[in-house]
Amino acid sequence: MYNSDVVAEMGEFEDPGQIACPVEPWRRNMRRRFTLEYWTDDGWLVGRLKEVPGVFSQGQTLMELEENIQDAYETILADDQPLDLGQTQVKEVELEV
């Protein structure tokens, strides 16, 4: 259910013309440095953020790769919701490195 009082307390909307998730005040203007590791694959620059598993993208130029990796990072943050897998279990494992 949409509660305008709660939304007003949470912050501004990213797109004021639509009902969407509000931008959390602590995420506005926040910047953090990451390591973009990139390589060439079949004429494309492909890269990943080393500190954030699962954030990969590609681009025809380094600038396009950086823009796309930003989009991929934002998508990971937006999708960072707990999975409904029923009862999950956790186990520490030791791997050979």
Position 29 scores a pLDDT of 64
Range of the domain at 67: 33-80
Would you state the pLDDT for residue 31?
84
Rounded mean pLDDT of 39-45?
A: 96
- Structurally, how many domains does the chain consist of? 2
DSSP assignment string, 37-49: EEEEETTEEEEEE
CA distance 81 to 66: 25
Whether 94 maps to a domain, the answer reads no
41 in the same domain as 19:
no
67 and 40 part of one domain? yes
Instruction: Indicate whether 21 pLDDT > 50.
Output: no
Average pLDDT, the chain: 74
How far is C-alpha 54 from the geometric centre of its chain's CA atoms?
9
pLDDT at 97: 72
Indicate whether 26 and 6 sit together in one domain.
Answer: yes
* Residue in the structure block whose two tokens are 């030791």: 94
